[in-house]
Amino acid sequence: MPTSLTPFRLIGLAALLAPVFASAAERLTVTVTNDLDAARPSETIAVPWPEVNRALPGALIQHIVVKDAAGHVLPHQVTNVAPQAKDPKNVGAAYGELLFQHSFVAGEKNASFTVEKTEALEPVFPPKAFARYVPERLDDFAWENDVIAHRTYGPALSAPAPPGSGKEVLETSGLDIWFKRVDYPIVDRWYNKGHDHYHKDEGEGMDMYDVGPTRGCGGVGIWAGGKLFTSANYKSWKVLANGPVRAVFELSYDSWDAGGIKVSEVKRVTVDAGHQLDQIESTFNFTGADRLTVAVGLNKTPANKKLGPTIAVAHDQKNAAVLQWVELKAAPAQGAYGTAVLVPGASGFAEDALNELALASVEPGKPLRYYAGAAWNRAGKVTSNEAWQAYVAAAAARLAHPVRVALRAE
């Protein structure tokens, strides 16, 4: 189960790299150490691109290959989320991170990989993480990986409907879920089918989650005086990385009144292949208070009442998580699903009429990092409430024990 939704620690890089980076190397060896006994499928390994460029001067993203210890070529990605510099000499100096994945089996403590330059033009790998703005559906913003998909809502959906237009109107900053049964991308396919066609499972999955004015699966608000104050639909968006291993995007929200304090938010979402949970960093700006309490929520009624849902809710204090398991009694063909928010450092739990909430304290301008996601039993990976609770607990354990990465040029 993946836990690599948080940046990895680089141990002793200066000491390891300085003696061997004085001249160009043939390859960069990446050694990853894992101190947990549990399996870690789809672990994302992140190597700062400046270290790749230092070891392999002139390395370009279309002319490198990443191999595991057996010599198998691994899908990889080079981001420019936080570029280090411009690259006026075209020597490959301006990128952010080299990303690839490895699935640790239970008890596997170390894994080694090599990064090499190639003369050949390396092929583009199929995307397993993807995000995009959807102007053709009232400013939706949608994202997915190979196991789950989501969307949220933009300004066109919240705009008033012209008389006689029949336009849908919804004001919410809640996060939606699209449940998948396939590992290939479905966002474009489902939107191209036409709105509402994906509310029926035709083999790929379906949209059966209700958001409305709630927090959906992982939306936030400010908790003050026992009341939740929430923003409207997102105002603007920005895609920072887009697969094949990881997608990163930002959503910005106009300021709203939170019990007499004006608050605005920028939400950065990191979506890694193979993960049921996305990493979300919400940064709030406000004046008039040193700190505020943020509530991260799950919709209390995420399924249509006609489906006869039975909803089990768990407040996992040890792992600072709120979980649901939803059994759809009236529609067994639609199965059951779990949702969760995991908020490291949460100060407690609360609820209002619409949402189950995990609470955390924030300062202005400092991001709150949390995790949100879901799993459907018909996808075959998480098939029971017990399995979902175990998945979230394992995710929390691995977040507390990130893998360690060491580099050596050879």
CATH number of the domain where residue 48 is located: 2.60.40.1180
Same domain, 97 and 168: no
At 399-410, the pLDDT tens digits run: 999 999 999 998
Structural domains of the chain, count: 2
The pLDDT of residue 194: 65
Same domain, 99 and 186: no
Lowest mean pLDDT among 145-154, 233-242, 266-275, 324-333: 324-333
9 pLDDT more than 70: no
SS3 396: helix
In whole angstroms, what is the distance from residue 338 CA to residue 373 CA?
Answer: 8
Average model confidence (pLDDT) across the chain? 91
At 36-51, the pLDDT tens digits run: 999 999 999 999 999 9
At 59-86, the pLDDT tens digits run: 888 999 999 999 999 999 999 876 556 7
The pLDDT of residue 289: 96
Average pLDDT value for residue range 222-245 = 97
Lowest mean pLDDT among 88-102, 112-126, 226-240: 88-102
Percentage of residues in the chain with pLDDT exceeding 70? 92
Global pTM value: 0.92
The pLDDT of residue 10: 41
1 pLDDT more than 70: no
At 263-298, the pLDDT tens digits run: 999 999 999 999 999 999 999 999 999 999 999 999
C-beta separation of 308 from 329 below 8 A? yes
Q: Tell me, yes or no, whether 2 lies in a domain.
A: no
Same domain, 108 and 189: no
Same domain, 151 and 238: yes
Same domain, 70 and 194: no
Report the 10 Å Cβ neighbour count for 195. 14
* CA 36 to centroid of chain Cα atoms: 22
User: CB-based contacts of 256: which residues, under 8 Å, 6+ apart?
Assistant: 229, 230, 231, 232, 262, 263, 264
183 pLDDT more than 90: yes
Q: Tell me, yes or no, whether 166 lies in a domain.
A: yes
Range of the domain at 170: 129-379
Q: Which 8-state DSSP code applies to residue 163?
A: T
Average pLDDT value for residue range 94-112 = 96
Same domain, 151 and 109: no
At 326-336, the pLDDT tens digits run: 999 877 778 99
Same domain, 186 and 240: yes
13 pLDDT more than 80: no
